[in-house]
Structure 1
Amino acid sequence: MISHCFVRLIMQHYSDLRISRVLTRRNVGTLSSFPLAEVLTNSIDDLIANSDVIVECTGDVFFGTEVIERAFEAGVPVVTINAELQVTTGSYLSGKGFLTEAEGDQPGSLAALREEALQMGFQPLVYGNMKGYLNHNPSPEDMAYWSKRQGISIEQTTSFTDGTKVQIEQVVVGNGFGATITRRGLEGLASTDLNVSGNALGLIAEDAGQPIVDYVLPNGYSAGGVFLVCRHDEMQAQAIEYFKLGPGPYYVLTRPFHLCSLEVGKTVRRVLAGGGVLLNNSVSPTLGVAAIAKRTMKPGEVIARGIGGFDVRGEAVKLADELDHVPIGLLRNTVLKRSVEPGQLITFDDIEVQPSRVLDIIFQQQQQVLQQVQTKVQPAMLCQALP
């Protein structure tokens, strides 16, 4: 859906841009209905050779990582609308080339809202997402129904419904902007009034001593957008109240839409004009998304897929607290070595890991986190030993 809509947008509304190639793993001959069938290719080399910037929207962590690594070898910048990839291999990739999340999905929309807020003097305390519906363990039958009704894949429908998607999105935002979480899986406040919920989250962030990422579950008002909870200079309080944002000290700024493929072109233009990164997972992440079992599983059972599957769901974790967690984006046809129960965090001791480039990158990133943790712990231990 994303690629089709994006191609149509560029064709019809961007006279200064041209779609030169579209990479697909399917048989090109079977895709005659694609908006620009003549530019379809199965060759990554062909894609790179004919691109000034690549828009990666595969939704696939493994293939997307391969494409981006190849692009960076050729010095081609990449705009992605794939938060799943960002949170899995994005930190490694961000150190190898120009990688930015696109405006349009919630993380990019939050990044754009943040840029506007900073220009107006606001200081973000909370990066918030509005989630319309949550069911941690939906049935395959329900997901098949909603997938057909909404016209998106059952995997996407499931990851949206069980909360994995919002956890991934908020972790990317947290890593990109130095925000943290207050507990595993986020607070996820039930909300009938965004200003009231925003104030509550603002207090939580103040208590944490740094900005946080989180989400609300709206009831009685429209979901689907993003919001910031901010502070501002006290001397501006009277003017801001006159501007209808309330008496403070916390101010809620909202962006009530995210239009996915219709907004990606803005980020492409930003990159081609020499603009900086809108958002990525940073080269030194502090947060990750762990796999949490949805059901009882026994040794020998196969986790067919992590994101959007019916075996596990994702929860945001602090990397320093969960060094042995399995990133949910890694799980694909993975065999269990040990029994797990619902709600249990999956560790590397629980699974047989299949070799892959993604696994290599994850291990490299974990070693970096471990070294950071050890560097912080050792000085504290030395100070305690001094008389």
Structure 2
Amino acid sequence: MFRMKNKLDELVSRGEQIRIALVGAGKMGTGLVNQISRIKGMTTSIIVDEKIDKAYHALDSAGIKKEDIIKTNSIQQAELALSKNKFVITDDYTLSYRLDKIQGVVDATGNPPFGAQLAMESIEHYKHIIMLNVECDAVVGPIIYDYARKNNVVYTGTAGDEPGAIMELANFAVGAGFNLLAVGKGKNNPLDNYATEDDLREEAISKGLYPKMLTAFVDGTNTMLELTSVANALGFTPDVLGCHGVTADIKEIPSLFSLKEQGGILNNYRVVDFCFGIAPGVFAVVTHDTKEVHDLMDYLSMGKGPNYVLYRPYHLTSLETPITIYEAIVEHDPTIAPEKGQVSDTITVAKRDLKAGQYLEGIGGKDVFGKITSHIDQRNRKLLPIALITKKTKLKTDVKKDELITYDMVELEEEQIITKLRKKQDELGL
């Protein structure tokens, strides 16, 4: 990280800095603003939120003076403000990518349809796009990534989120010469596939979260989406529908995540999974094919093998995002991107009995939850990726609780960019 600090110091010495736009001033976005405010050479020049008071609060909490915060939807006024090193708040998301001084856009909305639109428009305007929106990445990341490469900008997930933290472990393992067998994350919240925001509203408010966000954590959908993003970056799949989700301490991981014939739980290697008992950490299971390395791993107290676990006991969510911003804008290197295409998918399962004609509540709602499967399985059974559900997605047939929902059971909102992108992505085989 001293390379990052030195490069940023060089920018400051030339009177320059990295300028980013943040879209979404919730808990993660506000944390990011505060973190960036203490990094010389990097600034959150513009914050977009439909609730303008939240954008103001994000800057105010970071110690930005009131007179330095300009509220405007005018591109001319915004450009003038940035030229004077002021900060802009707005509810017009297009300002995030229309301003010449902005180099990168951070999506911290968690809204899949909007995220797809923001990403494509940002890339169209040659802005790097940093996604704190795994919900969008998991369903149309491959085609957005392809579009970004063609426009010579970086599309990336972020350090601090579990997918980025897992990818850092995977990069280390492969770079050091190990064979990567499995990767995963600790599950922070208890798992209740049928949880609703009514069940969790009081807890969510006490934690400063939207109830739907906490619901997506508890019902498992968020974990499935995160593992889908990891799978699409590594070319991995879940070993079984929805993963094993075992309970274990970290010392048990190497033996558990071995093949069944070795006494473990796995049918195959090159898989993603999650585990209770090691949260908030992430892990990678590795092995090697030489006796000398096994002997040295034993000497280093890494276990008897043949499998070993590499473990990171924390992830700092948006507080680590400045690293990704730097890597994307200065080094043109993504933290995590769906380079392998749509290898896995998070599909849709009914939380309760549903009736034909009703509009579906998507991620974090009372109607459905997500489970990860291979993209081949999703395609063969025509299963509906959960992140394609919008406010106008309507059921065409009755659905029973725990039934997997397929494309032919719903009317999708065909005019939504996320729907169009997924259709094109599937046609191109990305």
TM-score (norm 2): 0.80
Question: Aligned partners of 1:113, 1:264: CA distance in 2, in Å?
Answer: 16
Deviations 1:331-361 (A, max 9, x none): 1222211010111111121112222111111
Which residue matches 2:114? 63
Greater RCO (CA < 8 Å, at least 6 residues apart): 1
Report deviation, 1:92.
Answer: 1.0
Is residue 33 of structure 1 aligned with residue 84 of structure 2?
no
Is residue 173 of structure 1 aligned with residue 230 of structure 2?
yes
Question: CA contact under 8 A between 2:237 and 2:373: conserved in structure 1?
Answer: no
Report deviation, 1:226.
Answer: 0.5
Structure 2 spans left out of the alignment, 5+ residues: 1-26, 71-87, 149-153
Which residue matches 1:384? none
Structure 1 spans left out of the alignment, 5+ residues: 373-387
Which residue matches 2:215? 158
Report deviation, 1:198.
Answer: 3.1
Question: CA contact under 8 A between 2:257 and 2:266: conserved in structure 1?
Answer: no
Question: Aligned partners of 2:213, 2:265: CA distance in 1, in Å?
Answer: 34
Indicate the SS of the match to 1:33.
helix
Is residue 46 of structure 1 aligned with residue 95 of structure 2?
yes
Is residue 5 of structure 1 aligned with residue 5 of structure 2?
no
TM-score (norm 1): 0.88
Indicate the SS of the match to 1:3.
helix
| One-letter code aligned to 1:96 | Y
Deviations 1:218-245 (A, max 9, x none): 2xxx421100110134311222112111
The verdict on how the C-alpha distance between 1:65 and 1:214 changes in structure 2, with shifts beyond 3 A counting, is same
**Greater shift in the superposed pair: 205-214 or 271-280:** 205-214
**Greater shift in the superposed pair: 231-240 or 102-111:** 231-240
What pairs with 1:1-387 in structure 2 (closer than 5 Å)? 1-12=27-38, 14-26=39-51, 28=52, 31-35=55-59, 37-38=69-70, 39-48=88-97, 49=99, 50-97=101-148, 98-132=154-188, 133-191=190-248, 193-203=249-259, 208=267, 210-218=269-277, 222-232=278-288, 233-282=290-339, 284-304=341-361, 306-323=362-379, 324-333=382-391, 334-355=393-414, 356-369=416-429
Question: Aligned partners of 1:31, 1:234: CA distance in 2, in Å?
Answer: 57
The verdict on how the C-alpha distance between 1:29 and 1:138 changes in structure 2, with shifts beyond 3 A counting, is closer
- Percent of matched pairs sharing the same residue: 25
Question: CA contact under 8 A between 2:56 and 2:89: conserved in structure 1?
Answer: no
The verdict on how the C-alpha distance between 1:32 and 1:23 changes in structure 2, with shifts beyond 3 A counting, is closer
| One-letter code aligned to 1:146 | E
Report deviation, 1:209.
Answer: 5.1
Question: Aligned partners of 1:187, 1:332: CA distance in 2, in Å?
Answer: 29
The verdict on how the C-alpha distance between 1:256 and 1:43 changes in structure 2, with shifts beyond 3 A counting, is same
Question: Aligned partners of 2:108, 2:53: CA distance in 1, in Å?
Answer: 21
Question: Aligned partners of 2:133, 2:224: CA distance in 1, in Å?
Answer: 14
Report deviation, 1:44.
Answer: 3.9
Report deviation, 1:268.
Answer: 1.1
The verdict on how the C-alpha distance between 1:31 and 1:9 changes in structure 2, with shifts beyond 3 A counting, is closer
Question: CA contact under 8 A between 1:56 and 1:82: conserved in structure 2?
Answer: yes
User: What is the CA RMSD across the aligned residues, in angstroms?
Assistant: 2.0
Question: CA contact under 8 A between 1:335 and 1:352: conserved in structure 2?
Answer: yes
Indicate the SS of the match to 1:95.
helix
The verdict on how the C-alpha distance between 1:277 and 1:215 changes in structure 2, with shifts beyond 3 A counting, is same
Which residue matches 2:83? none
Deviations 1:29-87 (A, max 9, x none): 67543315431123344322231122211111111111111111122111112111101
Question: Aligned partners of 1:180, 1:3: CA distance in 2, in Å?
Answer: 30
The verdict on how the C-alpha distance between 1:242 and 1:325 changes in structure 2, with shifts beyond 3 A counting, is same
Question: CA contact under 8 A between 2:384 and 2:405: conserved in structure 1?
Answer: yes
Question: Aligned partners of 2:28, 2:385: CA distance in 1, in Å?
Answer: 25
Report deviation, 1:202.
Answer: 2.8
| One-letter code aligned to 1:2 | M
Question: Aligned partners of 1:67, 1:354: CA distance in 2, in Å?
Answer: 18
Report deviation, 1:9.
Answer: 0.8
The verdict on how the C-alpha distance between 1:195 and 1:42 changes in structure 2, with shifts beyond 3 A counting, is same
* Runs of 4+ in structure 1 over 4 Å off: 204-210
Question: Aligned partners of 2:201, 2:411: CA distance in 1, in Å?
Answer: 29
Question: Aligned partners of 1:339, 1:23: CA distance in 2, in Å?
Answer: 39
Report deviation, 1:297.
Answer: 0.8
| One-letter code aligned to 1:145 | E
Indicate the SS of the match to 1:19.
strand
| One-letter code aligned to 1:160 | F
Question: Aligned partners of 2:54, 2:384: CA distance in 1, in Å?
Answer: 37
